[in-house]
Amino acid sequence: MNDQTRTEIEAAAFRRLVEHLRTHPEVQNIDLMNLAGFCRNCLSKWYRTAAEEKGVEMDYEAAREIIYDMPYQTWKDLHQAKATPEQQATWDANRQ
């Protein structure tokens, strides 16, 4: 496989992951962090870093809007639930 084809496949897989997360807002970021060690906000940070490495200036909120497909605060108001005590305990234990 050549580099161009690999890049195109990786980009398609990334777009599919982002679309999957957009269609499943019931999956909370804290659950993603507790289970996989990353969340939508991590993807936003990675997106921003990749853009800046290519010379594209982008602030964090702009990157978040790309990943969430809406302003973060709007997504949060629509979809983010308060963390349960169990979720918070897992988060706290994982941060040790």
- The residue extents of the domains of the chain are 3-91
pTM passes above 0.85:
yes
As a whole number of angstroms, the distance between CA 49 and CA 58 comes to 9
Residue 96 pLDDT > 90, yes or no? Answer: no
- Report the Cα–Cα distance between both ends of the chain, in Å, rounded: 41
- Dmax (CA) for the chain in angstroms is 48
pLDDT in tens, 37-70: 999 999 999 999 999 999 999 999 999 999 999 9
Query: Degrees (nearest 5) of the Cα angle 51, 24, 68?
Result: 30
Spell out the CATH class of 3-91: mainly alpha
